A and B are shown apart, each in its own frame.
Chain A
Amino acid sequence: VRTGQRQLQRSPEDWADFDYDFKSSKIVNSPHDVWRRLQDEMPVIYSRAHDGYWFACRYSEVIEILTDWQTFSSAQGVVSLRGGTLLIPQEMDPPDHRKYRSVLNVPLSPKQMPAHEGWIRAEARKQLATVVRSERFELLSAFAVPFPKIVALRLMGFPEQDLAELDGWVTNSIMERGSEAATLAGAALYGYLTTMLQERAEHLPKDDLISVVQNGQVDGAPIPVEDQISMLMLLLFGGLHTTTSALAGAIVWLADHPEDRARLKAQPGLMTTAVDEFVRFTSPADTLSRVVTTDTELAGCPIKKGDRVMFGLGAANRDPREFDHPESVDLARYPNRHLGFGSGPHRCVGAHLAKLQLRVGLEEFLSAFPNFEVEDHSALRWEGGEPRGLINVPIRVTER
């Protein structure tokens, strides 16, 4: 008998006292070892944190939850800790979901994207011009935050002079959800949108997303104003911080991997698969949830009607059962059935815009800075846990 042999495989009992908390500093900063162990040992686990929820982290169960919308409903909210307005169409089930979603699908479809590439590229250059001669800069404040924000707000049709105020409300509403600051910011945003829609209703429609929402029809009737506001809030919440996180995460990877910078330079056509791969790798929409409409089973685990099920898109996107070498970025990865934009009827409506912004943003960044590094990895900071991403990245330009 060999002694001293370590038993690596743990049993479900070992997890009995473990309450998975997606907002804990461990999961926000360094979740991957926990996710991998849960995938192997407890793919569906109950947590008493935040009023209690199930957490599913394997690709197979996550895609099952996303696809089976009858059992796993979005209509009672898909993020925890948020009171108030449900966002349309994200927090709605088919068939109503599809009616609202169709209004947004057309202006955000891939066919519309080529028309936006030119001005989006000009915006990327304008942002980068502020730091192009710098030897060091902080990536988020210099580029990864303002670039996607200005693109999204301008595409939606908000006036330039309102962008800073809007951004403040959105940041406070989603990052401090449930707090008094979030409630106040949410109320201020709601009031602003109400006034803006009233004012715009008196004028001719413009060529922007606000007008698409304002003039959209559901069941042959105009969309009620409160639903229009809900749709605009969803576009604001969904499109700003997520693109920032993917862009920042991609640039950190490229800082650490000069060989991948060289590959992208030599083969610019790789950018199409690279962008999806960076979305998989960074998974900015890290965790979402559903509420179960009927007693069911998930990976053999009985779940009761009314229970909340959280699931890890970020965890599923690192599941070795689906992805070879999931911890590495493979710029040419294909097939890449990642769930970074979700799956099923609620697949991210802004995915094609996000991918355009990521491609253009990375192309312009690499063109402005062929060689760069993270100046100090110990300064990297993360924020989480439902949307999860880097919030501080010091970059040093190494040579021109």
Chain B
Amino acid sequence: MSTVKLSVDPLKCQGHGRCYEAFPEIFEPDEQGFAQVKIDICEEGTSPAADFRAAAAGCPERAISEEVRCD
């Protein structure tokens, strides 16, 4: 079973908000509008994993990245 670790790079995120507008169940804005993850780990093949990849493709700053772990 593999899991996907989800994160937003705080050095790259500029607060466009395209991730938390499109996928509010996974991302949320902080007080200044920068994105943070609400879920930081999920199983491969689930809808959060797919949504996360879609959000990564939609980020103008390429600030959203994933790390797949096999446990």
Interface on A for B, CB 8 Å cutoff? 63, 67, 102, 105-106, 108-111, 272-273, 276, 334-339, 341, 343-345, 347, 351-352
Residues on A with beta carbons closer than 8 Å to the beta carbon of B60: 63, 337-339, 343
Select A343's contact among B17, B31, B61, beta carbons within 8 Å: B61
Residues on A with beta carbons closer than 8 Å to the beta carbon of B32: 102, 105-106, 109
Please, what's the 1-or-0 string for B15-42, where 1 marks a CB less than 8 Å from any CB in chain A? 1111011100000010111000000000
Residues on A with beta carbons closer than 8 Å to the beta carbon of B18: 276, 335-337
CA distance A15 to B12 in the complex (A): 37
Residues on B with beta carbons closer than 8 Å to the beta carbon of A105: 15, 32-33
Do A347 and B31 have beta carbons less than 8 Å apart?
no
Extra pairs beyond A110-B29, A336-B18 (17, CB < 8 Å): A108-B33, A109-B33, A110-B17, A110-B20, A111-B29, A272-B21, A272-B22, A273-B22, A334-B22, A334-B58, A335-B58, A335-B59, A338-B60, A339-B60, A343-B16, A347-B16, A351-B15
Q: How many residues of B contact A (CB 8 A)?
A: 18
CA distance A335 to B16 in the complex (A): 13
Do B58 and A345 have beta carbons less than 8 Å apart?
no
Residues on A with beta carbons closer than 8 Å to the beta carbon of B3: none
Residues on A with beta carbons closer than 8 Å to the beta carbon of B58: 334-337
Shortest Cβ distance from A272 into B: residue? B21
Ranked 10 nearest A-B pairs via Cβ: A335-B58, A105-B32, A109-B33, A347-B14, A337-B60, A335-B57, A110-B29, A343-B60, A110-B33, A272-B21
Residues on A with beta carbons closer than 8 Å to the beta carbon of B68: none
Do A351 and B29 have beta carbons less than 8 Å apart?
no
Select A111's contact among B14, B33, B59, beta carbons within 8 Å: B33
B54 at the interface (CB under 8 A from A): yes
CA distance A108 to B33 in the complex (A): 8
Do B16 and A351 have beta carbons less than 8 Å apart?
yes
Residues on B with beta carbons closer than 8 Å to the beta carbon of A106: 31-32
Do A351 and B59 have beta carbons less than 8 Å apart?
no
CA distance A351 to B33 in the complex (A): 10
Do A343 and B14 have beta carbons less than 8 Å apart?
yes
Please, what's the 1-or-0 string for B34-71, where 1 marks a CB less than 8 Å from any CB in chain A? 00000000000000000000100111110000000000
Residues on A with beta carbons closer than 8 Å to the beta carbon of B57: 335
Do B59 and A337 have beta carbons less than 8 Å apart?
yes
Shortest Cβ distance from A339 into B: residue? B60
Shortest CB–CB separation between residue B55 and chain A, in angstroms?
8
Residues on B with beta carbons closer than 8 Å to the beta carbon of A110: 17, 20, 29, 33
Select B29's contact among A109, A276, A347, beta carbons within 8 Å: A109
Shortest Cβ distance from A345 into B: residue? B14
CB pairs A–B below 8 angstroms (10 shown): A63-B60, A102-B32, A106-B32, A109-B33, A111-B33, A334-B54, A335-B54, A335-B57, A341-B16, A343-B16
Do A347 and B15 have beta carbons less than 8 Å apart?
yes
CA distance A276 to B21 in the complex (A): 11
Shortest CB–CB separation between residue A389 and chain B, in angstroms?
21
Residues on B with beta carbons closer than 8 Å to the beta carbon of A337: 18, 58-60
Residues on B with beta carbons closer than 8 Å to the beta carbon of A67: 61
Residues on B with beta carbons closer than 8 Å to the beta carbon of A345: 14
Shortest Cβ distance from B59 into A: residue? A337
Most buried by A among B20, B57, B60: B60
CA distance A393 to B20 in the complex (A): 34
Residues on A with beta carbons closer than 8 Å to the beta carbon of B20: 110
CA distance A341 to B31 in the complex (A): 20
Most buried by B among A108, A276, A345: A276
Residues on B with beta carbons closer than 8 Å to the beta carbon of A336: 18, 58
Shortest CB–CB separation between residue A367 and chain B, in angstroms?
22
Shortest CB–CB separation between residue B43 and chain A, in angstroms?
23
CA distance A336 to B59 in the complex (A): 8
